[in-house]
Amino acid sequence: MPAQPTSASKPAFTINGHIYVAHVKKGYEDRERHINEMMGRLGVSFSYMLDGDIPDITPEIMAGYFSPDAAFPMPARSCALKHLLIYEEIVHRGLPGALILEDDICLNPHFPGIFTKSMDELPAYEHPADGKYAPVIISYEDTRLRFVERSRREKGRVLYPGDRDRMTGCYYVNLPAAETMLRQIKNEGGLTMPIDLYHAWMLRQGRLQYLWCQPTVATQGSHNGMFRSGIYTAKTAWEERKWKFKLIYRKILYFLR
């Protein structure tokens, strides 16, 4: 369901493709308000991916997208399915890629400029090989507490090769990556793990490039205390404070490396 932005106080940022937000048809209205307000301030259009809710996962859908050996819970399957349906939208529409957000994401005020810079740097990683562009995912969030070491940082550069996933609250996926993942899942008989772990598996297999944005410019609200998690057991106030402390500690740690 397309969602139009409200009047914007900032110009739209540059994106190669479209923006999709994984959300549910009913419930989590506080997240919907948050997304509409945040995207309205940014002045960009986007679409909600509402299909793939738990009630939508029929036996036919289960058989079409998930392996019989899959053992992760239904909320995580619903989340993964929404991401896969977005990949299908990218392929169906022939988009160069898409920025994918989960509905609890909180974007940093510097997000527009950093994201636009990342789109400028992206072609260097999408280098043509035999006429085909390489599959690429770019992660923008700090939720997983993984950052680029200062020794690798270069002035004015924002994209760096990553060796692990950084969750799926805010990432860009290009068309070749969407095609590659959908094809691999079909060939393997369905998804066997949550979507973030699948990205990590694809990275380890050398099937896609996984880039980290530095600085990070997004955080999942279900980790920083803004929202309750819709998949896992809700964090206590102590756990939220501990996460925020770890965030500061890890940023300092990576700065010293």
Summarised one tens digit per residue, pLDDT across range 114-123 is: 999 999 999 9
**Domain that residue 241 falls in:** 2-256
Q: What distance lies between CA 174 and its chain's CA centroid?
A: 12
Residue bearing the bigger pLDDT, 240 or 162 = 162
Can you read off the two tokens belonging to residue 55?
Answer: 């009630």
Tell whether the model's pLDDT for residue 51 goes beyond 70: yes
- The CATH number for 219's domain is 3.90.550
Running DSSP on this structure, what letter comes out for residue 172? Answer: E
| Per-residue model confidence (pLDDT) at position 246 | 66
| Number of domains making up the chain | 1
Cβ neighbours, 10 Å, residue 252: 10
Q: What length is written for the chain?
A: 257
Calculate what percentage of the chain has a pLDDT beyond 70. 81
| Per-residue model confidence (pLDDT) at position 221 | 86
Tell whether the model's pLDDT for residue 70 goes beyond 80: yes
Q: Which of 154, 253, 172 is nearest to 210 (CA)?
A: 172
Q: Please give the full DSSP string across 207-253, using - where no structure is assigned.
A: SSEEEEESS--EEEHHHHTSS--SSSPPPPHHHHHHHHHHHHHHHHH
| Per-residue model confidence (pLDDT) at position 232 | 45
Contact 87, 181 (CB under 8 A): yes
Tell whether the model's pLDDT for residue 191 goes beyond 80: yes
| Per-residue model confidence (pLDDT) at position 13 | 79
Element holding 18 (H helix, E strand): strand 18-22
The C-alpha atoms of residue 65 and residue 165 are separated, in whole angstroms, by: 21
Residue bearing the bigger pLDDT, 93 or 5 = 93
